Chain A
């Protein structure tokens, strides 16, 4: 019952949002969309972006060659729609794709977009001195050639089902004439980074760190002018302040409502909430190597059966209900339901406390003493569970796991630490267990970096728990190489089944993202990978506009101080 507490509200508001979207009354261009966010963008250079906030802004300022579309298909080019490229042609051997650049596309400074911009974007991203996170996901792209100013040809090392996705999804195109003269290592600190010039439907106006980012509609854009004239992100690094801005009406949109905010949203007749699938999953990760000596297995978690017993002793559904109510589902594994390759009926290790106790007994971990805690050869069954202190849901989850495992005779010490400190421990593999979360992309391929052998053994790997199973890796590799969707899904299912049964982690929750918005705002589809991608199509009816929607149309704020030194 409790789980359904807000389900009715959410269904109702989803209907309201859809009804509003269909109306065309007063659908004239204008208005200001104010989005309240809890942190600054890290950088407004597409190839360097790491934070969600920066992704929202750069996706408005810059354009890709093609857009993935709402189906999030990553196989070949099905579902992709033209953007900077108005059409494309595959070579006979599929080892190259020629993109034809839309001849009307211009950078915001008036310079036409040309094929050399595409070549420059790929070449600079591959430059190791830049430090681009995207470099690792475009390794299949060998080079880009430019037979003429309107044609950019991508050359690939190997034919791959997702080579088109790799070519267009990871990187918006950047203007060569702006960046060419700046050494890549100095891009972040450059003036150009503070006044980005793109070709998207919104142009950059100002960025005052920790305060505001403002964009305005590019009325002469080759894709047409967007309906909302101004986009303003107001920044407050404290969550309560950021959400209060939305609840009090100072902002129109808030992207990450929490369970405790839902009653407040329900009270306001002008506020709406909408849920959509996210690409996040949360897990309790066991460190399978000894934190003191990485060459040895972890004294507790090195044993597969013990990990399975701990998973059996954890009632994941109850945890999700308590922590998220209806705003999450139990996670299925290292994947999300939004992937077409995910079978929602993946077999799980069931919650079975008596069986978990039996397994622990059989492994020699016996209950000793009056407190009911287990030990073996004098060593207590005890571990430290690290969580970032800034994440309320992860702290709550850790406390519930602590109590559930106590009932199985396992002592858990919950350690709340700062996020950078937790990341430091994980990178050094100096932890017992930690509650983590991955924000994935439309391709399920990133699972290899997080849970594969390469990610475990490479010093730069993100597989902090050092889980290694060649069967898992082989199935993922085969799945990624397969062009047949059903075969692909079957192989991914095998891979997920393998890792679920090996239990290198307890798969906890798959949060459903909940955004809040003002009812005057007419919004459309919220895409799991980027809810903001359709903002240029959102609108505010003329009769519902408020004073801030009507700021002087040609007013441009004072330019930011120039001549700042670089480090």
Chain B
């Protein structure tokens, strides 16, 4: 098992290195640079922009910039963010916990909700409830993440102002609150972006889980359980669900990239100061080091997520441990 983990970690390192090279090339090929005027100010001349480029070493040939970047990376430095005027490590160090919080809540919430919905559907298979829930799941699967985020924002922050419009906390009063009030403030701000992601991700989980449950229902051990006189609810919960969970564990790994991408756009809409918010804005402002840092951290998260899913799968299925 340890050898397997080591192999996977080496693979992950190679993948991250390839992603870094490709991203470096793509972001620098994209037209424009960090010092395109931020507004239509006729005083900002090309000479000013040239001075700024020189200050950040962007006037150097691209291969030289690449070597410098790789050298810094080898020393654990992700560079300097032009738009934040802070080190990328510091910017992402602040943003990453926010993204992880959102992702973990969304992951747990979506799997819990998705499995619950699947259990209800299979328990009442063929009924109007089953059809209705299938339809709702399909609707959420078809819906673009940013669109649902905008709708949620309008519905629950504006038309029905139950939640704040955006941010990780109340920027006006948070710093002056006590610990308890701060915690509540954070959770209050977490609600809408988390609910959006849960709604999107749980729809896929529900459909997969429903199919997996239906697959195991004709099995002999289910028939035996039924003959033993167990109720349908007990059969589903005790016997069918446990055996139908394996494909869902695979889904955890697979859903990681999708969840991360979804998080990026949801963060942008809800001004949730996570990795996505930082990186999406960095793309717009051509903040090369921040984009690179975000992509590298993102690819590490995805490869580690995939590894974690494989390990969980092995833990859940004893046959795979050999």
Using CB atoms and an 8 Å cutoff, list the residues of chain A in contact with chain B: 32, 34, 39-40, 42-43, 50-52, 128-137, 185, 188-189, 193-194, 206, 208-212, 232, 234-238, 240-241, 244-245, 247-250, 280, 390, 417-425, 427, 436-441, 446, 449-450, 458-462, 547-548, 551-552, 555, 557-558, 561, 564-567
Q: Most B CB atoms within 10 A — which of A130, A208, A417, A567?
A: A567
A240-B153, A564-B86, A567-B80 given; A248·B46 CB < 8 A: no
Subset of 25 A-B contacts with CB under 8 Å: A42-B38, A50-B37, A50-B39, A129-B55, A136-B48, A188-B55, A208-B171, A210-B84, A210-B281, A211-B167, A234-B167, A234-B171, A241-B270, A244-B154, A244-B157, A250-B164, A418-B31, A423-B37, A424-B31, A427-B46, A437-B40, A449-B43, A459-B46, A460-B48, A462-B45
Chain B positions within 8 Å of A547 at CB level: 173
Give the chain B neighbours of A208 by CB distance below 8 A.
171
Known: A209-B86, A241-B270, A424-B36. A461 touches B45 (CB 8 A): yes
With CB as the reference atom, state the residue of chain A lying closest to B91. Answer: A209
Q: Is the CB of B165 within 8 A of A419?
A: no
Q: Which residue of A lies closest to B159 (CB)?
A: A248
CB nearest to A194 among chain B residues: B85
Chain B residues lying within 8 Å of A210, measured Cβ to Cβ, are 84, 271, 273, 277-278, 281
Give, as a whole number of angstroms, the nearest-CB distance from A311 to chain B. Answer: 21
B166 touches A241 (CB 8 A): yes
Contact B268 A441 (CB under 8 A): no
Enumerate chain A residues within 8 angstroms of B45, measured Cβ to Cβ.
133, 136, 449, 460-462
**B164 to chain A: which residues have CB within 8 Å?**
250
Give chain A residues whose Cβ lies under 8 Å from the Cβ of B80: 189, 566-567
Name A236's contact: one of B55, B56, B166, B286 (CB within 8 Å): B166
Supposing A128-B51, A193-B85, A420-B32 touch, asked if A241 and B271 sit within 8 A by C-beta, the answer is yes
**Contacts A51-B39, A248-B165; is A232 near B172 (CB within 8 Å)?**
yes
Q: Is the CB of B281 within 8 A of A421?
A: no
Central interface residue in B31, B87, B281, by most chain A CB within 10 Å: B31
Say whether A557 contacts B175, CB under 8 Å: yes
Give the docked Cα–Cα distance between A234 and B172 (Å): 8
For the complex formed, measure the closest distance between the CB of B228 and the CB atoms of chain A, giving whole angstroms.
Answer: 56
Task: Judge whether B284 is part of the interface by a CB distance below 8 angstroms.
Answer: yes
Question: For residue A236, which residue of chain B has the nearest CB?
Answer: B271
* Interface assignment of B134: CB less than 8 Å from any CB of chain A: no
Given the known A-B contacts A438-B42, A462-B45, A557-B175, are A240 and B37 also in contact in the complex, defined by CB atoms under 8 Å? no
Residue of B nearest to A463 (CB): B42
Closest Cβ–Cβ distance, residue A390 to chain B (whole Å)? 8
B270 to nearest A CB, angstroms?
A: 7
Q: Give, as a whole number of angstroms, the nearest-CB distance from B165 to chain A.
A: 5
Residue numbers in B under 8 Å from A417 (CB-CB): 31
Total B residues in contact with A, Cβ cutoff 8 Å: 59
Set A39, A209, A212, A548: member contacting B84, Cβ < 8 A: A209
Q: Of the candidates A185, A420, A458, which one forms a contact with B33 in the assembled complex, judged by CB atoms under 8 Å apart? A: A420
Enumerate chain A residues within 8 angstroms of B43, measured Cβ to Cβ: 133-134, 136-137, 441, 446, 449
With contacts A245-B165, A439-B40, A449-B42 taken as known, whether A460 is within 8 angstroms of B51 at the C-beta atoms is no
Q: What is the bound-complex CA distance between A436 and B86, given in angstroms?
A: 32
Question: Quick check: A548 and B172 within 8 Å, CB to CB?
Answer: yes
| Residue B52 interfacial (CB < 8 Å) | yes
Q: Are B172 and A185 in contact (CB under 8 A)?
A: no
CA of A110 to CA of B56 in the docked complex: distance in angstroms? 34
Query: With A and B bound together, what is the CA distance between A134 and B41 in angstroms?
Result: 11
In this assembly, does B30 line the interface, its C-beta being within 8 Å of a C-beta of chain A?
yes
Expressed in whole angstroms, the minimum distance between the Cβ of A386 and any Cβ of chain B is: 11
Q: How far is the CA of A461 from the CA of B166 in the complex (A)?
A: 40
Per-position 1/0 for B147-188, Cβ under 8 A of A:
000100110011001001111100111011000000000000
A211 touches B56 (CB 8 A): no
17 extra interface residue pairs, beta carbon distance < 8 Å, beyond A210-B271, A446-B43, A548-B172: A42-B38, A51-B38, A52-B39, A130-B51, A132-B48, A133-B48, A237-B277, A245-B166, A248-B157, A248-B161, A250-B172, A419-B32, A425-B31, A439-B41, A462-B45, A551-B173, A567-B80
Task: Tell me the bound Cα distance from A199 to B84 in angstroms.
Answer: 25
Asked if B64 CB lies within 8 Å of chain A CBs, one says no
Asked if B224 is an interface residue, CB under 8 A from chain A, the answer is: no
Beta-carbon nearest neighbor of B52 in chain A: A131
B83-108 vs A: 1/0 string, CB under 8 Å? 11111001100000000000000000
Q: Does B190 contact A (CB under 8 A)?
A: no
Q: Are A419 and B281 in contact, with the CB atoms below 8 A?
A: no
Beta-carbon nearest neighbor of A233 in chain B: B171
Greatest chain A CB density within 10 A among B44, B50, B57, B150 is at B44
A424–B40 contact, CB under 8 A?
A: no
Which residues of chain B have C-beta atoms less than 8 A from A248's C-beta?
Answer: 157-158, 161, 165
* CB <8 Å contact, A564 and B90: yes
Tell me which residues across on chain B come within 8 A of A50, comparing CB atoms.
37-39, 41, 44
Is there contact, CB below 8 Å, between B36 and A423?
yes
CB distance from B121 to the nearest CB of A (A): 35
Is B47 positioned at the interface, with any CB of A under 8 Å from its CB?
Answer: yes
Least Cβ–Cβ distance between A123 and chain B, in angstroms: 16
Q: How far is the CA of A419 from the CA of B90 in the complex (A)?
A: 27
- Complex Cα spacing A240 to B85, Å: 26
A206 to B176, CA, bound (A): 13
The answer for the CA separation of A135 and B164 in the assembled complex, in Å, is 43
Looking at the assembled complex, report how far the CB atom of B232 sits from the nearest CB atom of chain A, in whole angstroms: 46
Q: Are B165 and A241 in contact (CB under 8 A)?
A: yes
In the complex, the answer to whether B42 meets A185 with C-beta atoms within 8 Å is no
CA distance A437 to B41 in the complex (A): 9
A229→B91 CA distance, assembly (Å): 30
B residues within 8 A CB of A136? Answer: 43, 45, 47-48
Contacts of B269 in A (CB 8 A): 238, 240-241
Closest CB in chain A relative to B102 CB, distance in Å = 16
B79 cross-chain contacts in A, Cβ below 8 A: 567
A420 cross-chain contacts in B, Cβ below 8 A: 30-33, 36, 284-286
Q: In the assembly, what is the distance between CA of A42 and CA of B34, in Å?
A: 11
The residues of A that contact B286 with a CB separation of less than 8 Å are: 420
Chain A residues closer than 8 Å to B172, beta-carbon distance: 32, 34, 212, 232, 234, 250, 548, 551
Residue from A32, A235, A419 within 8 A of B36 (CB atoms): A419
Query: Min CB distance, A209 to chain B, in Å?
Result: 5
Find out whether the CB atom of A189 lies under 8 angstroms from the CB atom of B85.
yes
Interface residues of B in 251-286 (CB under 8 A from A): 268-271, 273, 277-278, 281, 284-286
Given known contacts A241-B166, A248-B158, A250-B164, A424 and B32 CB-to-CB distance under 8 angstroms: yes
Closest B residue to A428 using CB positions: B31
Inter-chain contacts of A185 with B (CB < 8 A) = 55
